[in-house]
Chain A
């Protein structure tokens, strides 16, 4: 029995759906496991009851809330696909800005104000069963989650932090060059892609289930970060509008 699956986009850049489409040949293998019955990026129409709904983007305002509730009602499993859906993502930065000003920056002064509410993670509106974190999602991890759902296995995400993948890739620690990195508290699974590329981890995959908060705070304090500096580190992906 193939899974009936749908993809639904809310407030986001749709980059996660593109990451899925860019899987190429593996995407064809994927179609052996699932019937994609709704996918606005590639098709029209509505698919009725679903086994899996992939929800991309954060939820902004009453209209989107109603739509995601409707998706929830006809779906056996709801998957939050990508950071925006999972934690609020980059969108949630707007919580800390003056709404009028940010609107002006994004849409220009002459455009009438759009009726958007503040972005929230999907899980603040409806129950989420499975998460595929990342900005954008990792195609291989997406496939692994989908395969797990197809064979009835609980999808697995690493419970350990990005540090593990830096060590395995034999990368020097970002802290050694005097920079701050969220790797010690952020969920692995990306293969430490950003440190590998010379950047630092900014936390797009969200925190591990059990972040060692006080140990990490001590490391940041020793590095000379103030409480405000620390909040700024987490704000990009991990506060979801919370202060």
Chain B
């Protein structure tokens, strides 16, 4: 999918009228099957257009999602003939098609289908349709069931669409989101490209009545704790098992495969049709019995899949907050209600366990090793009173009583035990005190906190790491995790820039990885010395000789704020998708609990949602990189 996702960083914006849009649709119909919202027997449905005038660009979120065309309910996989010897006949290629006017949530849902269906061995039946489909987005008006604003799916980044029509008064501002989108305009609406380009429309925040009380990042942990919650029995008792929730979900794709014989038995076809985890017989075994025999188990499975299993794997909820499931549920099972209740119950349990202020009280940890790493930088190894689990990229706060506490990225990978490595640069009184610590001394620790690197989601890809200065600390944790599962990843390339050779951290590690060939390490410094025989300059220089396939690469960038301003456009230019560029946006994370407000980027709380954030999550947030 390299080409459709290619994103021009100087993405183009042009103003057009509704009449212009209809002209474009009419032109497209000469070469493509065009699908859009239209009236069919008094109802708005997503359907093939016979005439451009049928197209409705303002339609309610109730209309079916593009899954109807990208992963249809009835799809022939192949035909077979039974007369004489058995013969199998392949299916024809998918027709070239434009899906014209998709809401932002549904564009996000397409990416979820990509995640799932391209994962491992790609589903080529889906891929054929996906590659033959051009996606044109359009603004929407949320209704009472939408909760996209809670999942960040009310806005959509370039790379998720080929063209997007932003409503701007009585005209549209067209955003080109891919090379394919631009090529489409060159061929079918060349006049648009010669109009004066306009400024991007400032982000238009949407309002939804339904909202999750916590960000999506915490839902996986909330569900994990809530596996035995009585809520599953309650909604299982209410559920009618009709499967409307999954059939209408824009990202649910479970299916069954059936043989359909011709009446004369001379042959037939093998087809796939949608199935639902809510149906009887979905998990039926040939020997009898069902793996998930009751509706409570089935509903729990649906929620876990949406907000935990696929989150763990792809670092995206498999829900886009479109509200179709609750809108069409006769039993009024509402994901927002279910999730908010689980969150509130969990927080109540935590409150009951802890005395007032307990979450602010650190555990005591012993320093087991302390050593210099580079001038002014020391490594501390701490032993906590319990085993800790965390993802690379998460952080803890360290207290020196009397001086206060500060956040530190964990520089090691989880060893299943109680140990953590931290890297401390002497900056102020607290860090200078930490530099004075010797083995046996005691500090306070809270955490781990935050959301780190989605290591599972990176499996099967090439990984590009870009480190600047102390930004190397968090990437060392990631590298350790990648190397522990080295075979699951393609190439691993580290670009590491530092001010001068003495400031390079973890030199022993770097040399060992390079020598063993597990990581392609490329280092640059701004000021060399007599010992230095490597390149001189900014880390950006190291991009010149990169030969990674952007379609299969995920990048992790960590460094001072300035660095993101240079590197992110470079990565986009290379063709990396915005959701595969992971930035370390550390802010002043004081409480680690999503409360104190010091680490917020616009409305996003870094200590919960970050510090590791995919670029598409912060694209458009003015405080993220621009400032």
> Do the two shown chains form a genuine complex with each other?
yes
Interfacial residues, chain A to chain B (CB-CB below 8 A)? 26, 29-30, 32-33, 143, 147, 150-151, 159-161, 163-164, 167-168, 170-173, 175, 184-185, 208-210, 212, 214-216, 218-219
Beta-carbon contact of B242 and A218 below 8 Å: no
Beta-carbon contact of A26 and B263 below 8 Å: yes
Closest approach, in angstroms, between the C-beta of A218 and any C-beta of chain B?
Answer: 6
Beta-carbon contact of B241 and A212 below 8 Å: yes
Residues from chain A with Cβ under 8 Å of B330 in the complex: 163, 173, 175, 184, 219
A150 to B264, CA, bound (A): 11
| Residue B45 is within 8 A (CB to CB) of chain A in the complex | yes
Residues from chain A with Cβ under 8 Å of B248 in the complex: 167
Q: How does the 8 Å CB contact mask read for B239-251 relative to A, with 1 for contact and 0 for none?
A: 1111110011000
Closest chain A residue to B42 by CB distance? A172
A185 to B239, CA, bound (A): 12
| Residue B502 is within 8 A (CB to CB) of chain A in the complex | no
Number of A-B contacts (CB under 8 A): 80
Closest approach, in angstroms, between the C-beta of B286 and any C-beta of chain A?
Answer: 12
Beta-carbon contact of A151 and B261 below 8 Å: yes
Beta-carbon contact of A172 and B43 below 8 Å: yes
Beta-carbon contact of B281 and A163 below 8 Å: no
Beta-carbon contact of A184 and B240 below 8 Å: yes
| Residue B619 is within 8 A (CB to CB) of chain A in the complex | no
A208 to B290, CA, bound (A): 17
Task: Give which listed residue, A26, A147, A167, A208, contacts B244 with CB less than 8 A.
Answer: A167
Closest chain B residue to A143 by CB distance? B263
A10 to B264, CA, bound (A): 31
Residues from chain B with Cβ under 8 Å of A173 in the complex: 328, 330
Residues from chain A with Cβ under 8 Å of B328 in the complex: 167, 173
Closest chain B residue to A196 by CB distance? B41
A163 to B247, CA, bound (A): 11
Task: Give which listed residue, B237, B238, B263, B276, contacts A160 with CB less than 8 A.
Answer: B276
Beta-carbon contact of A218 and B244 below 8 Å: no
Closest chain B residue to A174 by CB distance? B330
A184 to B45, CA, bound (A): 23
Closest chain A residue to B45 by CB distance? A170
Task: Give which listed residue, A151, A184, A208, contacts B280 with CB less than 8 A.
Answer: A208
A26 to B263, CA, bound (A): 8
| Residue B73 is within 8 A (CB to CB) of chain A in the complex | yes
A215 to B295, CA, bound (A): 11
Closest approach, in angstroms, between the C-beta of B361 and any C-beta of chain A?
Answer: 46
| Residue B331 is within 8 A (CB to CB) of chain A in the complex | yes
Residues from chain A with Cβ under 8 Å of B242 in the complex: 160-161, 163-164, 167, 184
Would you list which residues of chain B between 24 and 56 have a CB under 8 Å from chain A? Answer: 40, 43, 45
8 nearest CB pairs, A to B: A163-B242, A29-B263, A159-B280, A184-B240, A212-B240, A167-B244, A215-B240, A160-B279
Q: How does the 8 Å CB contact mask read for B273-295 relative to A, with 1 for contact and 0 for none?
A: 00010011100000000000001
A33 to B73, CA, bound (A): 30
Residues from chain B with Cβ under 8 Å of A167 in the complex: 242-244, 247-248, 328
Closest approach, in angstroms, between the C-beta of A26 and any C-beta of chain B?
Answer: 6
Assuming A172-B43, A173-B330, is B244 touching A214 (CB within 8 A)?
A: no
| 16 residue pairs from A and B, CB less than 8 Å apart | A32-B263, A147-B261, A163-B242, A163-B330, A164-B244, A164-B276, A167-B242, A168-B247, A170-B43, A170-B45, A184-B240, A184-B242, A215-B237, A215-B241, A215-B295, A219-B330
Beta-carbon contact of A30 and B279 below 8 Å: no
Given A160-B280, A175-B330, A215-B237; 13 other pairs, CB 8 A cutoff: A26-B263, A29-B263, A32-B263, A32-B264, A150-B265, A161-B240, A163-B243, A170-B40, A208-B280, A212-B240, A215-B238, A218-B238, A219-B330
Q: How does the 8 Å CB contact mask read for B419-445 relative to A, with 1 for contact and 0 for none?
A: 000000000000000000000000000
Assuming A173-B330, A219-B331, is B241 touching A161 (CB within 8 A)?
A: yes
A29 to B45, CA, bound (A): 36
A163 to B198, CA, bound (A): 48
A160 to B240, CA, bound (A): 10
Closest approach, in angstroms, between the C-beta of B273 and any C-beta of chain A?
Answer: 10
| Residue B167 is within 8 A (CB to CB) of chain A in the complex | no
Residues from chain A with Cβ under 8 Å of B64 in the complex: 170
Closest chain A residue to B44 by CB distance? A170
A160 to B243, CA, bound (A): 8
A225 to B279, CA, bound (A): 27
Beta-carbon contact of B247 and A212 below 8 Å: no
Closest approach, in angstroms, between the C-beta of A78 and any C-beta of chain B?
Answer: 23
Beta-carbon contact of A160 and B241 below 8 Å: yes
A151 to B82, CA, bound (A): 13
Beta-carbon contact of A163 and B240 below 8 Å: yes
Residues from chain B with Cβ under 8 Å of A172 in the complex: 43
Closest approach, in angstroms, between the C-beta of B456 and any C-beta of chain A?
Answer: 33
Closest approach, in angstroms, between the C-beta of A166 and any C-beta of chain B?
Answer: 9
